[in-house]
Structure 1
Amino acid sequence: MKLVYLSLLAMLVFGCGESESRAKPVDVAINGDFIQSETSQPVSIIPLPASVKKLEGEFFVNAQTVIVAEEGALSVAEYIQSQFGPATGYRFPIVSSNNVDNAITLLLDDAFSEEAYRLIVTANGVQISASTRAGLFWGVQSLRQLFSQDIELNAPVNKRVWPIAAVDIEDQPAFSYRGMHLDVSRTFFPVDFIKQYIDLLAMHKLNYFHWHLTDDQGWRIEIKKYPRLTEIGAWRDETVVGHTYDRDGLYDGQKLGGFYTQAEIRGIVAYAQQRQVTIIPEVDVPGHASAILKAYPEYGCVSKEFSVQANFGVFPEVLCPTEKTFAFLEDVFSEVIALFPSPYIHVGGDEVKTVQWQNCASCNAIMAEKGLKDYLALQGYFISRVEAAINKMGRKIIGWDEILEGNVAPSATITSWRGIEGAIHAAKAGHDAIMAPGSHLYFDHYQSRSVEEPLAIHGLTPIRETYSFEVIPEVLQNTDAAKRILGAQGHLWTEYVRSQAKAEYMILPRMSALAEVVWTDTSKRSWEDFSKRLPYLMERFSAKGLNVAKSAYVVNAQISYTAKGFKVDLSSDMPEVNIFYTLDGSLPNAQSQQYLEPLLLPKGGTLRARAQSKLTGEMFLERRLTLQSHKGIGAKITLNAEVDRAWNTDPEVSLVDGILARDQIFQLDDWATFPGEAVEAILEFPEMTEISLFNLGFNAGRFRHFYAPTAIELWSSNDGQNWKALASARAADINMESVSATLHVKPTSMRYLKVKVENHAKRFSTEDSKMIPVTLYIDEMIVQ
C-alpha cells in the first residue's frame, strides 16, 4: 500500500559522499498512523554506479513490504529475504503479481546487457530490472547500500520502518572479470569464513573467487582416489615464527592443517553460485609441490624424505614430468572439475625451480626426445600436457605469467602477478589475461606506514595505491589487444595472516578500492570522491562485526632536508580529519598540538602524529618518524659493492638522508640491500669535516631481525687516495640485539670517509638445503 512521505529530505549525496550532520527524525504515515522515522542514508555506493539521479521523496520499507519476482528471479528474491530479514525482522513474502505498491520488484528484461541493471526507488517502492539473475543481484547490492548500516546486523533492530532514498541508478561493469584470491594453504580457514569471504565479494560486485588450494605448506582439497593428499599432505608439524629469512629461526611447535571435504566444497560452490560468484580452484603444478610429494614421493624426481614445509618461500620440490605423474594429475583434475563448474581451472605454474629436473636422467631423456632446448621449455611441456588433459575435460586453464615462458596454447589465460608486463605480452600474443600485479593488488602487503600495523610480508600497498591502478595499460589503449585484458584480481596470501580477524583487516577496505577499479569506468573515478564515500562503507563493515582497517587515515609525511633542518609536511588521504602531533615522545591526542603548517625540525627528533575524525572524534593509527640530523646528510656516496637494486633503487641517497628506518620496516627499499660479502662506501664531504662518531643501523625493530655485519672499518682521507685507519669493530664488538652499532673515534678532520662493512655470516636455507650467505640490510650511516 502507498506510503506518504511527509517531511523535507535531508540533503542526499550522489557519488560524492559529502559530510553532513546526522539526519533528524521525521513523521511517516502508515495505514493512517503517524510514526517517527529516521531519514534515509546519503546515497553513497561503492563501487560507484555508472549513473545516479536524485528523485523526490523516500521509500519506507516496513512489515508489509513484499518481493515481486517471476520464476527466473526467485533465487535473488530468496537472497533478499536472507539478507534483509535478520535486521528488519520482516518476512518479505514473495509474490508473482507486479502491480503492487510497497514492493521490491525484480524484473527480467532482455533489453539490458548481461550484468547491467537499473534500480529505481520511488515513494511507492523499488524496481530492479536486468536481463540476468547476475544483473538483478548486483542491483540488490546497490539497494543494500541505500539502507542504513543497521541492515548488516544479524539480529532484529527496533525500527518499524527502514527509509531509503528515491533514486534512479543505471549501471554496468567496466570489466567482465572482477576477482579476489585467497590462499588457504599457508593458513587453513574454516568453511564459515570461506562463505563470509564470498559474501564480501558479492557485496562488492566481484564475480570470481580464485581459491588457492594447494602449495608447499598444505594440500586442502579431498581427492578420493588419493587419500594421502589430505591424510598426510594437509598437515605440517610446525610453522616459522616471524619471517622465514629473519636472523632467528623460531618455530611454534604446533601441528597445523586441515582440508575441505568434497561435500563441503559442493556446499560452498552452491553458496557462491547463489551470490553470482564463480569459484576458480587452483592446484599448483609442477612447483610448490612439497605437500604432494610428502604424500606421494613417487611423483618426484629425487629420492629423499619430503616435508610439508614449515617455512615460506620457493622450494626446489617439483613434480617429475613422467607419464605416471601426468596420469596422477589427470585423476586429480578430473575430481576437481567434477566439483567446480567454473570454465577455468588454475594450474599455477609459478616459481618453478629446475634443479631437481637438471639432475634427473628421465627428465633429460624427455628433453632430448621432445627437442626441448632448456628447462624452461621442459616446464612449458609440463604445463602443455596438463592443459591438454584439462581441455579434454571441457575446461580451460589459467596460469601465473611464468607459463608464458613455455609453449602454452592460445586458450590459456594468464594471471599477471610480476607486474603488468606479463598481461601485455599475453594480450599481444592472443591470450586472455588478468591483471594482478603485486605492486597494487597484493593485500598481504602493509597498507600504511603506521607503527601499529600488524606483521605483514615485505611491501607497502596503501588503499590509494590500489585505487590508482588502471586495468588497461597505456601501451594497449585503443588496440585490439586491450580486449584481451578481462579485468583484475586482488590477492590475499596468508604466510603472515594466521586468523580470520587478520584476514578481514588485510582486505578491508582495499577490496573496496579494487571493486571500483574493475566495476566503474575509469573516466568516472577519482580518489577525492571515493574517499568521501568510503567512511559510510567502513561503518557498514563495522556493523557486520568485521575487523576493518583504518589505515587509510594514517598520516602521510613528505620530508626534505634544508640548511635549516628537516622540513616535514603532514597530510591525510582522507577528508574531514584534523592532524595532531607531538615532539616529546608522547602519544598524540586531541589536546596535542594541531598540525596547521609544515614543521621545521632543526636537529630532527621523534615526531608522532595521528589523524582524528572531525565527525566522530575517533583517533586513528599512529605515524612515527625518527629523524637524525648529522654531518653525513647530503654527502656524495660512491659504492663499491653488489647492490640488490630490485629492492633498493637509490641506496646512495637512503644511506645518508637522515630518515631512520631501523625501528620499523614496511618495504625493503627503505633499506640499502647488499647480497655480497662486503660493502665499501666512500662519503665525500663538501668541505673538511671533523667527525668523532659513526653509527650504522642494521635491525628493523619488533617485526624483522636482520643480520648484523661481521665487521665494520672506518678510514679517513683528505684527497680520496691516501687512507688512514680510524676505527674498527669485529663481530664480538657488535650487539646483535641492538638496532645499530656505534664506533667512537678521536676527533679527526677529513674530506673523505671510507666505510667497510663485512658480511661473512651464513644461514641454513630451507629452500636450498644448504648454508648460504645472508643478505645485509643497512639503514642510515650517521656521522657526528
Structure 2
Amino acid sequence: MHFKKLINIVILFFLIFCCEEKYNEIEPEAIIPKPSEQISKSGEFILKDFYAVSAENDLDNASIYLMNQIDGLIDIKLNPKHKSKIEFIENLNLKEEEYYLDVSKKGISIQARDSRGAFYAVQSLFQLFPKNAGENNEIIIPFVNIKDSPQFSYRGMHLDVGRHMYSVDFIKKYIDAIAMLKMNTFHWHLTEDQGWRIEIKKYPKLQEVAAYRDETLVGHYSDQPHQFDGKRYGGHYTQEEIKDIVAYAQNRFVTIIPEIEMPGHSQAAIAAYPELGCTGEQVEVATKWGVFEDIYCTKDETFNFLEDVLDEVLELFPSKYIHIGGDEAPKTRWKTCKDCQKRIKDEGLKDEHELQNYFITRMEKYLNSKGRQIIGWDEILEGGLAPNATVMSWRGTSGAVEAAKSGHNVVMTPTSHCYFDYYQSDNEDEPLAIGGFLPLEKVYGFNPIPEELTKEDAKFVLGAQGNIWTEYMPTEEQVEYMAFPRMLAMSEVLWSKPENKNYKNFVSRLENFHKRLDALDINYANHLYEIEGNMLSEDGKAFYDLITLTEGKTIRYTLDGSAPNVSSKIYKSRIPIVESTIIKAAVFNSDKQLGKNFTQNINFHKAVGAKIYINKQPHIAYSGSGSEGLINGIRGSDSRYGDKEWLGFWGEDIEIKIDFKKPIKINSIKTRFYNGNGQWIYSPKEVNFEFTLEEGTKVSDKRKLQSKDKLLIKLDYDFITPEDLNVKVKSFTLKIPNYGKIPEGKQGAGNKAWTFIDEIIVN
C-alpha cells in the first residue's frame, strides 16, 4: 500500500460555512478553459478567518501557492481545530495534470496525481472567486464538482523579445497569465537580427554590441521609403534575471523553452563577432524587420561559438527542449563562401539545403550529448530532418504532416490560426500590425490535428501555441492587447475536449472573464460588442445579415450613412440590397451603445448575383466568404489580407469565370491583389482575359502588372468596343498565373508565393 505522508500547514486559514443566503455574482460555469465535466450545485461556501490545510506528499506546493494568493485577500487568524477545511489529496489513479475539485459545505477538496494537477485545480478555484473577493474579509465560493484533464500535453505561448524587449516584471506577469489559463510552456524567443537578449559571459560583445541597434523602423515595413527614429535601442536579460524568471515559472508549472536562432536571424551576433559570418566583414545590428542574408557560416569556429553559447544556456534553462530556430535562412552567402562550399564537398552533401540539415543535425547531436532535444521551425525539414528533432509547424500544416508521418513530434503554430501579431478586428482604428487577419472566432475554431493524419500519426502532435512576434509592439500594453483575449481562446483549444467547445458559450464566459482581466490590470482587446456582417445571395437577390454573439443585446442600424443611435431602426431580419448602400450599425444595451460603430460600404455592381466558378479551391486557412465573396459588392481590408473578403491561393495558377444570367454591356473590370512580400504574398505579374460574347465569339486580352513596392496592386481593365456596336458579354474568365518561387534574399525564399485576390468589380 502506498504510504501517504500528511503535511499539516499551520500558517493557513480557518473556514466557516454559513447557512444564510449570500450574494455571489460569479457564475460557476464561467471557467476558461472549459472543464471536462462540471456539476454546479445550490449553495455557497464562505471562506474567512483562518484554518488548517492538509496536503499529501508533493501536493503541498499547490496548497502553499493557494494560501499565498488568499493571504492577500483576507486577514489571518489561527484556528486549526475547525471542522471545515481545504484538503489536497493524492490520487494515483488520476492521469498527469488531471484533477478533481469539489466545493461543498464541508470545505474544498482537491484530488490530483501530482502538484501540476493540483495547481490547475487551484486555477479553476480562483475563477470561482467573485470580483469582490476579500470584501467584508470573506470569499464566497459556489458549490461545484469538477473533473478535468487536458486534451494536449504541450500548451504554449510564445514571446519575441528580440524586436522589442520587455521588463522582468512583465515577463513574470505574462507567465502568470499562461499559468492562469492552464498552459504549461513559455517559448522565449531570445535572439534575433535586431537584438541579442541573453547574457553570455564568454562572449561579452553579445551584450555590448549585439544587444543594441542604432535605430528602429518607424511605421510599417511596407511603407516606402523606410523611415527611422534615430534612437539607439536595446538591452539584455542578465543570467541572474533569467534564473529568477525560470524559478518563477517553475513554481507555476510553466516550462520555459529558450530559442537561440541558427543559422539564420543571426545578424546581431555577427555584428558583434564578424568572423561568425561568411564574409568576415563588419555588419550592423538590423534596424528594420525582415530576412537578412548574413547568417552563420558553417566553419568550425561558428560551431565552437554556438556550443559555448548553448553550454551557458543549458545552465540557465532545465527544459527538455532547446529551440534552435532554423527558419528563414537565405543561402546566398553560403553559395559563394569557400568554407561552406568546402563543407558541402567534404561532407558529401548535395547542396546548400543539405548543408542546412548538416548544420541542424550537428547542433542536435551536441544537445543530445547534453541530454537535451532540439525543437525548430518547419524549415528544419529542408534537406532532411535531424534524427530526434521536434518540428514547430508554422507555414501551414504540411510540415506537421510530413514530420508526423515520419515519426517526429510536432507542435502546431500555423500562421492562419496561431499568429497573434495579426489584426484581430476589421476596425480601421486598430493599432498597427504586421498584416493578416486572425479574429477570436478563428483562433477558437482551430483544430491542432491536421485532417491528413491518421489516428496513429496524430499521436505525434503534442499540441500547439500562440505566437507573438513583436515588430509592431513597442510597449507591454500592446503585447497584452494583441495576446488577449486570443490567448484565452487558444487555452480552450488546447485544454478542453472538442465536444465541450462552443463559441457562443465561450463568448458568454469571456464577457464575464473581462472583469478578471480588469482586476489583473491586463490590457485586452474588447471586440465582443462588434457586429459581424454577411452578404447573402438567394435566387439572384442580395441580402445583408447583421450578427452579434453577445446575449440580450440589440442591434440598431441606418442605411443613409448616418451614425446609429438609440432612435435608429432595430435590426430584426436580413436587409434587402438592391442598390449601392452604406450600412452603419452598433450594439446597444437598453439606451447605451456598447461597441464601436460598424460600417459596411456595398458597391452594387453588375457582377453581384452572377455565377462564379474557380478552378482551384482557396487555401482552407484563407477561404474568405468562398468564391461568391469575390462578387458580393464588398471589398476586403486595405491592410488585412486574411479577412473574409480576400481569397488566398498558395502556389497555384487560378482561373476565375463569371457567368451572367443574361448578356450585359461591360465598361470596366477592376480588382486588386495583395502584395505583402514579408508574408510571402506576391501580386501576379500578369492577368489574362477571355470574354465570351453574346453570339458566342471569344475575345482574349492581357494586362501586365507592375508590383514595385506597393502593398496593394490594382488591376483596372477597360473593355473598349466601338460606340456603334452593341457588344454584350455573356461571361468572362480571368486567368491568373502564380508569381512563382520567392526570390533569394526575400522572406520565404525558394517557397511558393501566395496569391491573394479581392472583389472583382464589373461596371
TM-score range, shorter chain: 0.7 to 0.9
Q: Say whether 1:482 aligns with 2:458.
A: yes
Give yes or no for contact 1:608–1:625 (8 Å, CA) kept in 2: yes
Change (3 A) 1:363 1:561: same
Residue among 101, 104, 126 paired with 1:119? 101
Q: Is the Cα contact below 8 Å between 1:213 and 1:219 reproduced in 2?
A: yes
- State the Cα deviation string for residues 628-648 of structure 1 (Å, max 9, x = none): 1123446689999xx999979
Which of the numbers 498, 514, 538 marks the counterpart of 1:538?
514
| Partner in structure 2 of residue 83 of structure 1 | 69
**Stretch moving more, 449-458 or 225-234:** 449-458
Q: Which residue of 2 aligns with 1:324?
A: 301
- The 3 A distance-change label for structure 1 pair 317 and 692 is same
327-336 or 395-404, which deviates more? 395-404
Q: Which residues of 2 match residues 148-227 of structure 1 at below 5 A? A: 148-151=130-133, 158-227=135-204
Query: Does the CA contact (< 8 Å) of 1:345 and 1:398 recur in 2?
Result: yes
1:323 Cα deviation from its structure 2 partner? 0.6
Contact 2:320 2:373 survives alignment (8 Å): yes
**1:401 aligned residue:** 378
Counterpart for residue 441 of structure 2:
464
Counterparts of 1:609-624 in structure 2, within 5 Å, are 609-612=585-588, 619-624=594-599
2:636 aligns to what?
Answer: 661
Q: Given that residues 466 and 510 in structure 1 are in contact (C-alpha distance below 8 angstroms), is that contact kept between their aligned partners in structure 2?
A: yes
Question: Which SS does the other structure have where 2:175 is aligned?
Answer: helix
Give the alignment of 1:169-318 within 5 angstroms.
169-318=146-295
Partner residue of 1:18?
none
Q: Do 2:24 and 2:130's aligned partners in 1 also have CA atoms closer than 8 Å? A: no
Secondary structure in 2 matching 1:105: strand
d(CA) in 2 for partners of 1:456, 1:572: 25
In structure 1, C-alpha distance between the alignment counterparts of 2:625 and 2:150, rounded to whole Å: 40
CA distance in 2, matches of 1:694, 1:433: 45
- CA distance in 1 between counterparts of 2:343 and 2:672 reads 51
In structure 2, relative to structure 1, the CA distance for the partners of 1:288 and 1:63 (3 Å cut) is: same
Cα deviations across residues 146-171 of structure 1 (Å, max 9, x unaligned)?
A: 101244xxxxx542321101122222
Residue 358 of structure 1 and its aligned partner are, at CA, apart by: 1.0
Q: The residue matched to 2:164 in structure 1 has which SS? A: coil
Once residues 400 and 713 of structure 2 are traced to their aligned partners in structure 1, the CA distance between those partners, rounded to angstroms, is 44
The aligned residue for residue 600 of structure 1 is: 576
AA paired with 1:512?
L
2-side partners of 1:50 and 1:40: how far apart?
19
- Aligned CA distance change for structure 1 residues 672 and 173 (closer, same or farther; 3 Å): closer
The answer to which of 130-139 and 442-451 deviates more is 442-451
Query: Which of 47, 54, 63 lines up with 1:61 in the alignment?
Result: 47
* Amino acid in structure 1 at the alignment position of 2:243: R
Q: Deviations over 1:697-720 (max 9, x none)?
A: 6899xxx9x999999999999679
Q: Which amino acid aligns with 2:403?
A: A
Q: How far did 1:505 drift?
A: 1.6
The residue correspondences of 1:638-657 to structure 2 (distance < 5 A) are 656-657=631-632
Task: Give, in whole Å, the separation in 1 of the partners of 2:704 and 2:33.
Answer: 57
**Using the alignment, how far apart are the partners of 1:776 and 1:129 within structure 2?**
53
Displacement after TM superposition at 1:659 (Å): 1.1
Question: How far 1:776 sits from its partner (Å)?
Answer: 10
Higher mean C-alpha deviation, range 100-109 or range 515-524: 100-109
1:594 Cα deviation from its structure 2 partner? 1.8
Gaps of 5+ in 2: 1-13, 737-742
Cα deviations by residue, 1:440-468 (Å, 9 ceiling, x for unpaired): 22211222333343332222222222222
Work out the CA distance in 1 between the residues paired with 2:301 and 2:159.
30
Go from structure 1 to structure 2 and tell me whether the alpha carbon gap of 1:776 and 1:91 turns closer, same or farther (over 3 Å shift).
same
Equivalent residues in 2 for 1:29-68, closer than 5 Å = 38=24, 41-68=27-54
Structure 1 residue matching 2:435: 3-state secondary structure: strand
Shift of 1:378: 0.6
Within 5 A, what are the aligned runs for 1:688-703?
689-690=664-665
Deviation by residue 1:394-431 (Cα, 9 ceiling, x = unmatched): 21111112212244444221111122232232222121
| Alignment correspondent of 1:34 | none
Partner in structure 1 of residue 533 of structure 2 = 557
Partner residue of 2:11?
none
Alignment correspondent of 1:5: 18
Q: CA deviation at 1:388?
A: 1.1
The answer to whether the aligner puts 1:144 opposite 2:129 as a matched pair is: no
Q: CA deviation at 1:520?
A: 1.8
What are the equivalent positions in structure 2 for 1:340-489 lying under 5 Å apart?
340-479=317-456, 481-489=457-465
How far the C-alpha of 1:386 sits from its partner, in A, is 0.7
Q: Which amino acid aligns with 1:163?
A: I
Q: Offset at 1:742?
A: 11
SS in 2 for 1:167: strand
Which SS does the other structure have where 2:102 is aligned?
A: strand
Q: Does 1:631 align with 2:606?
A: yes
Q: What are the ranges of 5 or more consecutive residues in structure 1 without an aligned counterpart?
A: 9-25, 27-36, 152-156, 758-763
Q: In the TM superposition, what is the alpha-carbon distance from 1:47 to its structure 2 partner?
A: 1.4
Separation of aligned partners in 2, 1:707 and 1:414 = 27
Deviations 1:549-595 (A, max 9, x none): 22244322221356876311122344333222222223334433221
TM-score, normalising length: structure 2: 0.83
The amino acid of 2:240's aligned partner reads A
Q: Which moved more, 1:489-498 or 1:627-636?
A: 627-636
Is this contact kept in 2: 1:448–1:552, CA < 8 A? no
Change (3 A) 1:382 1:522: same
- Residues 450 and 622 in structure 1, CA contact (< 8 A), matched pair in contact too: no
Task: Mark the CA change 1:632 to 1:254 in structure 2 (over 3 Å): closer, same or farther.
Answer: farther
Q: Is the contact made by 2:674 and 2:755 (CA closer than 8 Å) also made in structure 1?
A: no
- Distance (Å, rounded) in 2 between the aligned partners of 1:716 and 1:429: 48
TM-score by length of 1: 0.81
C-alpha separation in 2, matches of 1:360 and 1:630: 57
Q: SS of 1:107's equivalent?
A: strand
Give the Cα separation in 2 of the matches to 1:432 and 1:729: 45
Code of the residue aligned with 2:43 in structure 1: it is G
Shift of 1:51: 2.0
Contact 2:98–2:150 (Cα < 8 Å) also in 1: yes
- In 1, the alpha carbon distance for the partners of 2:492 and 2:637 equals 36
Q: Which amino acid aligns with 2:506?
A: F
Q: 2:334 matched to 1:334?
A: no
Deviation readout 1:178-230 (Å, 9 max, x if unpaired): 11111111221111111110000000010110111112221111111112122
Q: Secondary structure at the match of 1:358?
A: helix
Quickly say closer, same or farther: Cα 1:424–1:740, change in 2 above 3 A: closer
Provide the rounded CA distance (Å) in 2 between the counterparts of 1:765 and 1:404: 19
> In structure 1, what is the equivalent of residue 4 of structure 2?
none
Give runs of aligned pairs for residues 9-20 of structure 1, distance below 5 A. none
Whole-Å separation in 2 of the counterparts to 1:163 and 1:632? 60
Q: Matched residues in 2 for 1:127 and 1:639: separation? A: 59
Range that drifts further, 236-245 or 655-664:
655-664
Q: Equivalents in 1 of 2:409, 2:705: separation in Å? A: 56
SS in 1 for 2:137: coil
**1:280 shift after superposition:** 0.3
- State the shift of 1:662 in Å: 6.0
Provide closer, same or farther for how the CA distance between residues 112 and 652 of structure 1 changes in structure 2, counting only shifts above 3 A: closer
Instruction: Say whether 1:104 aligns with 2:86.
Output: yes
| Residue of structure 2 equivalent to 1:579 | 555
Residues 150 and 543 of structure 1 are in contact (CA less than 8 Å); yes or no, is this contact kept in structure 2?
no
